[in-house]
Structure 1
């Protein structure tokens, strides 16, 4: 038997010991797994969508919240890497929480994750429609055309996923190159051209812009946060989704080793490259007041510094990267629906648990996600400050999921099997505590009264989920009482050695 066969057999055994059978082709290798996490984070998406907001919240100085977020999220990614190594199956937080706590808690976290993935697809695709296309195609953005363009982008993504997971993966892999080339290329060109033309503004690196200096670094009150603290939303929206690699664990070769590495390296690379890009933007920024009032501030800096032709070339690369970001998040949502349906814990689960043998895609789950995404888009598109509300909701929900996961990992990690490929070892407690402190701080930002719409979306979607949750408790209680292996706990599952955390 070849080494490849041995790895394949071991991967299939890892799925079987959790009570499942291997239904997906394991086509994702190390780079593809990294690409999933890196494309989900997508620093181009986050910065193009939120840089204008930062100029209004905390001025150019607000970009210096980025490294704090990157370090905080790295601690979270390391905790998630430890989980992914021990439970390398699709469904990530839903599966982990079901085993760390119980299937009821797992379901609630799974539904929150579904709620998050839906709205983040909308926010990413809406970012293309509002912050890039108007500058690229020279038209005036309005709420109506932004809605129409976003709806069309979602439809194209859905068709790609339905057609072929392989092609979706190829697009995603290519997007890693365009992301790196686009951001690194833009960073270098903005600095070089700006220096040659004398258009760099070193004073903008630490300028507060039009934001008053009084109370700038204040933590805020019970219902508000200070300007600098508000600016943390820049990184909080961007540096999330690294765990998407874990949701495709059943499609990844040697997942228990590959997925953990993919998650934390995606955070590190995104943090470093993103910081340099933000510095270049601040240096190349011209009229801060005009940029703060623009719907396309990053695109404006690019075209004003590099010219229309060169600027448009880079904007095309950026558009492709952001499109791929939305695509991989869309795929992640379909896999979560499929994973919950496989356990008979999602409405119409018999339909959504099916995987097409030709495309290796859960077709019904993909169509469902597409429909729900379009509905959520329609709701947000009719509001004012649509993009701000979207990326705020897309920052709030993962913070809740991350915090719940880290807390349960700290308190019940002794239930988990031994690490198969990644372990925090002596650094486990420092990493866990720092991850916990960071997430509590991050969630405290959302006490600001301006986040009413994101909280409302989260509560409404959670309430809808609770309706089905109560239905299962009343009509199908056994489904929420047992894990797939006929009611056995993790400690009792055959072939899994239970131990205290490394």
Structure 2
């Protein structure tokens, strides 16, 4: 089994299957995706995916923690994304297929890793879109408030936030600590108290979030041409507004606000890494449109790189304006751009910003809703998902069933989930995808440059990476030594992994003469993962293990590259389900966590690990038994 789960699909096979349209014709009556996109469309799609909620919301908290020095974080994150973008571009030029990182991993690492990355991309596109839909709802409601249109709070908020706020108000009131009740808690409590209910159940849901998901899903469903037109219009509008805001804001900048540049040191700057990286997520999504590009090997790499450069320049200028107009100490607000213009009495600009935020987040939602169905379509073509996911609509030439499922996967949770949990999950999932893409490039055979096609420049890392490793080890020696003084805790575990990976890659770079750009991309992305905290790593592990269970239960058995499955496979699955139930029972009974959220997380982890462990044991016993029986 170990060999079969790492079976690779050659680039030649991938391109041949795509050219023949084997899956499209088989499940869709001969329909295929329509080639509509050029480099301008791809660049605008990249900007549409990147410039969204981050520039209007998360940049505020990042500026509060890092001060004006947050511009350094934008540059560092852009460089990190740049390394990854170049690796994506290399893959896109060699494998111009809709599967994005999933297909790239299938060609370089094998089927199991391809499944993992396909499952991981669900975090970036679908779960990330939940966060975008929730953000869009907030901006839309605020825009309506500006026109004196008031929507009941219980129709614009998630159930968990309202319930938690109600419990907090009761607790603070009981302890006579009314000063601890913030405006946010008050609003959520009002939503709870005014919501209609049935017994103890309250009718609280984020209706605008669901509405925008339904509308965007319909637009994606009816065709790539309509999606392209809507995207281009929204991007041109929001970029024009952002440039106008930057130009006006510079007239109100007070240079004294830029001093000190890093008031909380480099550590304070890095506290905003999750939010800032979330602001860059999306440039890779355009790689899922490869089969709808007129010349994907030329235009996809250009579109990704052009969009990343434009967005980086805009982000840096916005950060400078933001921290220059008011003190960084005042930027811990949900809508920092609108806030700073209110502070200088330009309230009309605030209204324009609110409108721009609605447009910006809608365009992000559109691109991610476009990308996720195409990932599922590619996985279905390979047999790892049911065939219906690769069905192409005969009239609209879109993956119709996968698009509808994506709408449900995003729309229903958007009714009930809050923003905090999904933002961090999206960041760590995307970084993991970048790590594997950069690693995959290192496994590709070197090719000579070809005219009209992007080619990743080769720079020998034999001496550069070891020199950087020694240099970083020297500058961060105190922190590294502190990891081994016996006082470290579980939160340091991700950084331990980073040090180990860095050491291994340093040796490999020296011995194997690895290409510099993918090595730096891999290391920088993995380092950013270490900054996201232990809890997010646990959540990420739970997500991946659940994905492995699904692969064992369905993908391994139905893979088109697979052979006939032995009878013990199904028997092992039945036994492993019993083990999973026992595992989750043990976790729930003996779990020492006090947090309800962590109880659920560890419960899911117990279930998933129980399934994997017992399946592996049962599979081994069955295979040994059958071998002895044959002898």
Shorter chain as denominator, the TM-score bin is 0.7 to 0.9
TM-score, normalised to structure 2, is: 0.64
- The within-5 A match list for 1:133-144 is 133-134=141-142, 137-138=145-146
Given the alignment, which residue of 382, 385, 388 partners 1:343?
A: 382
**Contact 2:54 / 2:278 at 8 angstroms: preserved in 1?**
yes
Does structure 1 residue 100 correspond to structure 2 residue 108? yes
Q: Look up the match of 1:497.
A: none
Does structure 1 residue 437 correspond to structure 2 residue 523? yes
**Contact 1:93 / 1:110 at 8 angstroms: preserved in 2?**
yes
Gaps of 5+ in 1: 1-11, 195-199, 218-225, 382-386, 483-502
| Alpha-carbon shift at residue 127 of structure 1 (Å) | 1.9
- The within-5 A match list for 1:65-464 is 65-130=73-138, 133-134=141-142, 137-138=145-146, 145-146=156-157, 147-192=206-251, 194=252, 200-207=253-260, 213=264, 216-217=265-266, 226-285=267-326, 288-292=328-332, 294-305=333-344, 307-346=346-385, 349-378=386-415, 380-381=417-418, 387-410=419-442, 412-414=443-445, 421-427=453-459, 429-446=515-532, 448-449=533-534, 452=535, 454-455=536-537, 457-464=539-546
| Alpha-carbon shift at residue 307 of structure 1 (Å) | 2.7
How many Å separate the matches in 1 of 2:47 and 2:559? 39
| Matched residue count | 439
Q: Secondary structure at the match of 1:426?
A: coil
Deviations 1:49-99 (A, max 9, x none): 202321443344334311111112111111110110000001111111101
**Could you say if the C-alpha distance between residues 238 and 119 of structure 1 is closer, same or farther in structure 2, counting changes exceeding 3 Å?**
same
Q: Secondary structure at the match of 1:402?
A: helix
Q: CA RMSD in A?
A: 3.0
Q: Secondary structure at the match of 1:324?
A: helix
Q: Which moved more, 1:116-125 or 1:388-397?
A: 388-397
Q: Look up the match of 2:184.
A: none
Q: Look up the match of 2:37.
A: 28
Q: Secondary structure at the match of 1:51?
A: helix
| Alpha-carbon shift at residue 418 of structure 1 (Å) | 7.3
How many Å separate the matches in 1 of 2:133 and 2:309? 24
**Could you say if the C-alpha distance between residues 130 and 94 of structure 1 is closer, same or farther in structure 2, counting changes exceeding 3 Å?**
same
Deviations 1:157-182 (A, max 9, x none): 11222233322211111122123212
Q: Secondary structure at the match of 2:445?
A: helix
| Alpha-carbon shift at residue 234 of structure 1 (Å) | 3.6
How many Å separate the matches in 2 of 1:456 and 1:399? 15
Gaps of 5+ in 2: 1-14, 25-30, 158-205, 461-514, 565-631
How many Å separate the matches in 1 of 2:344 and 2:224? 39
How many Å separate the matches in 1 of 2:151 and 2:340? 17
How many Å separate the matches in 1 of 2:285 and 2:128? 13
**Contact 1:49 / 1:131 at 8 angstroms: preserved in 2?**
no
Tell me which of the two structures has the higher relative contact order, counting C-alpha pairs closer than 8 angstroms and 6 or more residues apart. Answer: 1
**Could you say if the C-alpha distance between residues 168 and 67 of structure 1 is closer, same or farther in structure 2, counting changes exceeding 3 Å?**
same
- The within-5 A match list for 1:4-19 is 15-16=18-19
Deviations 1:106-144 (A, max 9, x none): 121111112321111111222222356426624699686
| Alpha-carbon shift at residue 472 of structure 1 (Å) | 3.1
**Could you say if the C-alpha distance between residues 188 and 140 of structure 1 is closer, same or farther in structure 2, counting changes exceeding 3 Å?**
farther
How many Å separate the matches in 2 of 1:113 and 1:400? 9
| Alpha-carbon shift at residue 467 of structure 1 (Å) | 2.4
| Alpha-carbon shift at residue 332 of structure 1 (Å) | 0.5
